[in-house]
A and B are shown apart, each in its own frame.
Chain A
Amino acid sequence: MDQHGAADGFVQLLNPEGDHVDSVTGPDGVTYAVDFTDDEYRGLYQDMVTVRRLDAEGVALQRQGELGLWASLLGQEAAQVGSGRALQPQDMAFPTYREHGVLYCRGIDPIMPFGLFRGVDQGGWDPNEFKFNQYTIVIGSQTLHATGYAMGVTMEGRTGSDDGEAVIAYFGDGASSQGEVNEAFVWSGVFNAPVVFFCQNNQYAISAAAERQTRVPLFRRAGGYGFPGIRVDGNDVLASYAVTRAALDHARHGQGPKLIEAYTYRMGAHTSSDDPTRYRMAGEVEAWKAKDPISRLKAFLVKQRIAGDDFFAQVEDDARKAALDLRERVLAMPDRQPVELFDHVYPTGSPELDAQRRWFTGYHASFDSTDG
């Protein structure tokens, strides 16, 4: 167990060696446990391997010049798959720009965010269709959107039962310093909004270590806003699932917000534009490799004889095929037509913009006629 985490009540069900405890009572007095079938355990493993493999494809595509940028989730698979699988179909998620694993767990085609990173669009999906908001790049802004959405859930009377709706807002340790995130905490507390704040403390905001953001463990901040906070081992998919599930159920039953600090580590760079060797030691990365979320679940599956070599080989092969399929479809993404620049600025249009579009179209046509 992580020393820092242990000192502040780190909920863990699966340790780095793959040893699983049936239940843990957190410092919040809640007993956390999972009740998975063998199929479900294998499913979590498959999810994590797949999202890691797809993420690696994103990194590779960027390096090959096929994406303008990629924000890798490497190291955060357990936090994302654990929390993502805890969501019910009716729940709404508000991601940052790194929640590819949550997106995958929502059953969404993993190609969906690639348009943004390839530069053919800026997202372009309907949040309500997928119960998954568009990626938000300005740090922390989506926590207010999640809070407002959750207020709407309450106003529509959609909490208070097992099939009530809950909302989850993803953000990171860096975002925790943003005023808007703190406003979201204030509002959700005051309005008792059914929102779970899921902070992936991956230890870095680009180059700034978490110590630059806070003097107290982040989960403890919740107390000041009047709702519970809990720290979970974010590299433990079982604990991430259990803690998120409990918080979502708390929210959907109308009991208000919770803050989860998933204590994890960004194994890769902030984005493909970053060079982490400038601000952290290789030894630190190595130490976190020993806590890898996938290898510990694999160790558990082996020890418990839930899965064997055939299964692991099949998962690797399926993930490889999924990545290949993803790559082919990313390369086939059509570029947009220049005149589409002017589309969707306003739902009801604008005569000024119509005039600019007409001019632009004529300008382009003038080159065509020269060629002809």
Chain B
Amino acid sequence: MITLGKALNHGLRRALEDDPKVVIMGEDVGKLGGVFRITDGLQKDFGENRVIDTPLAEAGIVGTAVGLAIRGFRPVCEIQFDGFVFPAYNQIVAQVAKMHYRSKGKLRLPITIRIPYGGGIGAVEHHSESPEAYFAHTPGLKVVTCSNPVDAYTMIQQAIASDDPVIFFEPKRRYWEKGEVDLDAPLSGAFPLHSARVVRPGGDATLLAYGPMVRVALDAASAAAEDGRELEVIDVRSLSPIDYPVIFESVRRTGRAVVVHEAPGNVGLGAEIAARITEECFYSLEAPVLRVTGYDIPYPAARIEEEYLPDLDRVLDAVDRSFGW
């Protein structure tokens, strides 16, 4: 059994072993092993040219990664916390996302940008945000997030191996969750990076969640089962592109859908997913697609963050509303 954080560490190690062009760069990723220890021990084993402690400048991390990628490297950037990505936002949105298009396909930027995200750890401001929609909205970026150790191990390797720029969101409050991970499993033939996965089958309603909210959705499904409702839980995993066929198939069967995410609901991923379900599954729906999300407020102070974060009760409340329609 290893934690999600350790699974990422193993995945990064394997990526460094598999491709000499992979370099890890970020604040405190070397000697310290990152503030969450995700890169623990990697600089010691791969050297300061492969695991680079950078100056404290996020635009610099991503901007120099662009240059390294033009040179043929495969950079893996760590942004220390979700709320610190914005100094790099210009480089990500204006350069990383667009260079392949700008060059008519002649240039590839196989950059992975890891961002620990989400709340629930009692942190100060800027350490608990869920900025995934900003990136999912940007053509040219792919956006994924893992919810468990097995996916963490596989998806980080797939993201790094991909020639696309990938924003890789890590559910920081699940870093310590444990699972069985086969560290020898070959990457080829693994579950595809951009596929959604049914993580609990059920025929009565569909819960759609990703990252830290998958655990909440699974717990809600367990609780609902005690009341005789079988909820299907889908781990969306890929936020851009979204694997809609899996979602549509489920919703056509269940007729009900609830989308759960920590980010504010306004113009969030849930809004897009709800719109697409409505367009594609209209005659299968027994109720409108409902959303359980963060409120449209700046991320709150730690001692009241539990009021902000979607939890089991709020998810079940939404399920009740769906059935009561």
* A residues in contact (CB < 8 Å) with B: 94, 121-129, 133-134, 136, 138, 141, 143-153, 155-156, 179-180, 183-184, 186-187, 190, 343-348, 350-353
Contact = CB atoms under 8 A, between A and B. Distances in A.
A124 B104 contact: yes
Contacts of B98: 122
Interface of B: 23, 49, 54-55, 57, 59-60, 63-73, 75, 87, 90-91, 94-95, 98-108, 110, 139-140, 142, 162-164, 194, 241-244
B103 A138 contact: no
Contacts of B23: 155
B63 A180 contact: yes
Given A144-B60, A148-B63, A179-B59, A153 B106 contact: no
Given A125-B106, A344-B105, A350-B241, A183 B67 contact: no
Contacts of B243: 351
Contacts, number: 140
A246 to B, nearest CB: 23
A124 B241 CA distance: 25
A180 B90 contact: yes
Nearest to B56: A186
A180 B71 contact: no
B51 to A, nearest CB: 12
A124 B63 contact: no
Contacts of A153: 71
A85 B306 CA distance: 63
A151 B67 contact: yes
B66 A145 contact: yes
Nearest to B23: A155
Contact of A348 (B59, B66, B139, B162): B162
A121 B104 contact: yes
Contact of A343 (B94, B105, B242): B105
12 contacts: A126-B106, A134-B107, A141-B63, A144-B64, A147-B60, A179-B59, A183-B55, A183-B59, A183-B63, A184-B60, A345-B140, A350-B142
B156 to A, nearest CB: 17
B91 A344 contact: no
A347 B68 CA distance: 18
B60 A183 contact: yes
Contacts of A134: 99, 102-103, 107
A145 B104 contact: no
B94 A152 contact: no
A145 B67 contact: yes
B63 A125 contact: no
Contact of A144 (B49, B91, B110): B91
A145 B64 CA distance: 5
A148 B63 CA distance: 7
Contacts of A122: 98, 101-102
Given A180-B90, A347-B163, A148 B241 contact: no
A346 B67 contact: no
